Structure 1
Amino acid sequence: MTRDLFAGVAVSDLPRAIDWYERLLGEVESFDPSDAERVWTLAEHAHLYAVLDPERAGGAIVTLFVGGLDGFLAAAAGRGVTPQSQETYDNGVRKALFADPDGNEVGVGGGPV
């Protein structure tokens, strides 16, 4: 059975959120299912979406795990988005924490160096 995951973040200003997430994620496929949503396809069957919902904006916690974390971070920095913090777990797994303009937390993790 095939399953797709759609992880959503509520935002207060959709154009501002679209700009920020596109700078974070880089060139990934996206589409607009409605005037109040943008969806980015991060991998087969894995999607992140922003939805205009000012009353709920800012409370999401989402984590992506990528191959080549250093390359991802360098590319995002080149587009003007840098993490608020970074950490390394005891097993060597690394995680960078970003906050979108509404304060939604977006973690980006990667395997040990």
Structure 2
Amino acid sequence: MQSQEIHLEDFQKIDLRVGEVVSAERVEGTRALMVLRVNLGTEERTLVAGLAPYYSVEEMVGKKVVVVANLEPAVIRGIKSQGMLLAADDGQGKVSLVTVDRDIAPGSRVR
């Protein structure tokens, strides 16, 4: 699949940060949604993610994930989501979080 190319300046507008999931819970009445509290170093944020079919609450806590930190907040099922974590989706039912492979501080920039 060929994607539209973007300019380097467009990519540089995206603020990618390492976030550590400090808590997770299922969103009642939904099949897929979880509410995550994520430590971004200088602050904690709430993220809503459709990961429940792929990860348990227990698996999520402690994971260091890559977060789009400057995404405009969105209200999902009445919950304000303050960013987006990145995950790969093979289109055939497998989803994998984008994580870091070494211990690094929450809030570290991803470049």
- TM class, shorter-length: under 0.3
Structure 2-normalised TM-score?
A: 0.25
Higher helix share: 1
Structure 1-normalised TM-score?
A: 0.25
